[in-house]
Structures are given as C-alpha cells and as structure tokens.
Chain A
Amino acid sequence: MMKQLIMVLAIAAIAGTAKAQNYFTRSGFVGFYSTTSQESVKAENKQVYAVIDPTKKALAFTLLVKGFLFEKELMQQHFNENYAESDKYPKASFNGTMEGNIGTAPGEYPVQVNGQLTFHGVTKPVTMPATVTIQQGKLSAKGNFTVKPEDYNITIPALVREKIAKEIKVQVQADCLPSK
C-alpha cells in the first residue's frame, strides 16, 4: 500500500516537471493613451517580452520603460525623467493568470486576466477582459484596462493636471510563438 502511494506521488512529481508548452514573444505591444480636451498623449512600446502558458493559464509581460515612444520627444524625456523615473525603475511588468476556457483548437477564447502590475516601483492588482486567439501554432492575446497615475505614485504637478487624464487607457497585444 505504502509503496503504491509513493509510486503515485513520484509519478505526480515527475509529471509536474514535464515541460508545458509556453508561447513567447519579444515584440509584444503595450500602448497607453491619455486624452483630455487640452492634450492627447500617446506612447507605444513594441519591444514587450511576453510569455503565455495556456495549459496553466499563466502569463507574464515585461518591458523597458524607456522603450515607450512618444510623438513629442520632450514629452518622452519628461515621462522618463519626472514621471516614470525610468533610471530608478527601468522595467514595468505584469504577472497573472487567466480565467476561462482556452481550447487547443484554433479559435478565439475570451478570458478574464487577473494579476499584478508593477510600474514605478509599485505593484497593484489589475484585472482585465482579454481575448486569446489560437491559430496554426500561434497564440495571440489582446486586452485593455485603465490605470490611475496616482495609484503608482506618479504625481502630476498642478500646472499640467488638466493635460493628463485621470485614467490612462492601456492596450496590450502579444503575438506569441511556441518556445523551445
């Protein structure tokens, strides 16, 4: 009896180590958009690292904050220097899980993503509706959510408060390929 139990546990442990199929990209996309009547700010980062594990329903994103490109260079400089402090906090990352059914057959699967977003040295829970698309060995994920700058200790001086939205829209997209 004991031997059988040990066998079962041992098999379970080995099964746990068996490598699950991960999907990976180095060119994911994260963009954020602030719109007020006075000013529209748009910043996009196309060098986002993302890994998605559809079996475990886990996913992780990471990016270099300096990789966000703005339309105005001065704005980009101020973003890095005064708001995101990218010298001090070079990376932003997200680590989470997906709720909902993800099949293996090609198709679109709506999921709910729950996780932790780390930016400017602050980690906060974020949830968002997302879509996972599977087609011919490729896995794409797409979602959007909003964040409040003050939640991430980003202080906006009174002078420009009218120019920066209270809630910033964030778009995320990652087209991943199976990783070796």
Chain B
Amino acid sequence: MSKYYLLLCLPLLVLAQRAAAQDSSMLRLLNDSLDVNAGPQKVTGTFKATQIVNTPTIESPARHSLQFIIMHRFGKLNQGAYELFGLDNASIRFGLDYGLSDRLSVGIGRSSVDKAFDGNIKYKLLQQNDKNMPFSASIYGLITNYTQRYTDKPYLNARYRTGYTTELLLARKFTRALSLQLTPGWTHLNLVGTPEDKNDIFTLGIGGRMKITRRMSINAEYNWLPKNQVVSVDVHPSLSLGLDIETGGHVFQLVFSNSEGMVGPYYLTKTTGQWKNGDIFFGFNISRAFNWKKK
C-alpha cells in the first residue's frame, strides 16, 4: 500500500514544482538566451572629463557635440597674504572641442601663459568592453604656438615658437569607481634654451580617478620627467590633484597643481614649481557640453 502512496505522491510533487517554477523559469531561459547572444558591451564613463587635471583622458566630446572649457589657475599658494595666497593672480585657458565621430575629436585653445594658441586631435584606437577588450587606447596630438612678444628676442619666428606633444593614452576602468590611465608622451620643442637642452623630451604620466559618490571623484596625475632632458632650467615633474563634480552637462574640477601651464609642453616640460616649497596653484576647470546633432 505504501508503494501506491509513493507512486501517487510523485506526480503530485512534480506538478507542484512545475507550477511554482513556471513563471521564473520562462524569465530564466530568456535571461540565459540574452547572456549567450548579447555582444560585447562598451565600457563607458572611464573618466568624467576630457582631462584628468591637465592630462587628456581617453574621453572625448560625443559625436556632433561641442565642449567649451575654461581652465583657470590662480597664483602660488606660497605667495602669502599680500597676494591673498595667489588669488590675486590668475592664468586661464579657453578651449573648444568638437566630436567629429565617436572616435575622433578636434579642439582649439588659447592660454594666457605665454599667450599660447593650441590645437589638438584625439583619436580612439581601442574601446574597452566587457568581453574581449580590457582597456581603451587613444592617440593624442597637440600643437602649440605662443605669441608673447619678447623685445629682447627678435629672432623668435613662428617656427621657433611652435611645440608639439604626442601622447598615447592607455586607460582601464577597473571598477565602477576606479579608473587608471598610463600616458607615455613625447614633446618636441622647435627651440630650446641652450644646446644642452633636448628638443625631444619624453615623459610618462600616470593618473586616475576614484569616485567618491555617483557624481564626484578624486583625481590625481603625476607626469614623470626623466632627468637630463631639460637642464638649463630647474624643472620638476608635474603633480596635480583634483575633485570632479558633475552636474548634468557641466563638469567642474577643482584642482591643485605645481604646474601653471595647462597644455602639453607647459606642464610636462616647464613646471618649475615644487609641492614641498608650497608652489601650488589652485584653480578649476569647467566644461559645458552643447549638443550639435540635428534632429
């Protein structure tokens, strides 16, 4: 008799289980199918802004969108109370960057330091995704030309005033909060101070961001400048810290840096300030994105 009960119970059990599993199993099958068939997903939002502090990031303005950026640095903190700790002085860079495609962007800018104009191009070579590409890579090219008049140097023609920086930007978003970027760079200056100074200067930048909330992150970058390249001037590696605050189409960056210059040759090869001496420039970068896409 007990054998019969067992037989009786089995199909009942099976039925009961099936009824309970019915709804979720349909969704589970669907989710499994999605997992199998979905292609690699782009990893986006590696950085909030197009620069860590001064160093360009792999981020560019979106296709057909225009970014206006104001970069601003006050004077040195160690200038004391008379100069209101640097706040009495300021240097500024205005920039416009435009996304020609998802991968290619171009930009122009003008800095008050040396009254320098600059033009840049950034192209994304590799895009990090969640399946088979562990990092993103971009190539960045910058040309600068300064227009500051030096009456004592009449020989300064346009060629002598021009410099170039080429950088390879290698970045990986490790977690939702942490992204790091390695930035080997090569700066070429058409004219340098003395014959001992090198025209071709190599640098290696390392930087990153750590999100502290969904809309804020702490940024840092260090640009190593190997010795014996710039010898006539006492220069130091550029070290900058920043705080990103993102609000809709704006990104605000509050920054502290030992560099006053905000474009390639200036912060990479002409940083005379040192953190330990209090040569710290406080400032900010503000960017605003405008959408250019026609409906």
Contacts and interface: CB of A to CB of B under 8 A. Distances in A.
Given A12-B11, A26-B37, A74-B289, A56 B22 contact: yes
A5 B8 contact: yes
Interface residues of B, number: 38
B23 interface: yes
A80 B45 contact: yes
Given A6-B8, A9-B11, A62 B30 contact: yes
Interface string A58-85: 1111111010000111100110111001
A95 B26 contact: yes
B291 to A, nearest CB: 5
B176 A88 contact: yes
A2 B38 contact: no
A10 interface: yes
A64 B38 contact: yes
A49 B4 contact: no
B58 to A, nearest CB: 13
Nearest to B18: A16
Contact of B65 (A49, A60, A74): A74
B27 to A, nearest CB: 4
A16 B15 contact: yes
B41 interface: yes
A77 B15 CA distance: 46
Contacts, number: 102
B253 to A, nearest CB: 16
A72 B62 contact: yes
B4 A72 contact: no
Given A10-B11, A82-B215, A91-B34, A72 B293 contact: yes
A81 B15 contact: no
Contacts of B37: 26
A62 B4 contact: no
Contacts of A73: 62-63, 65
Interface of B: 4, 7-8, 11-12, 14-15, 18, 22-24, 26-27, 29-31, 33-34, 37-38, 41-42, 44-45, 62-63, 65, 176, 214-215, 246-249, 289, 291, 293, 295
Given A6-B7, A16-B18, A80-B45, 16 more contacts: A9-B8, A13-B14, A26-B37, A49-B33, A51-B29, A58-B23, A62-B34, A64-B41, A66-B41, A66-B42, A71-B295, A73-B65, A74-B65, A78-B248, A90-B41, A93-B27
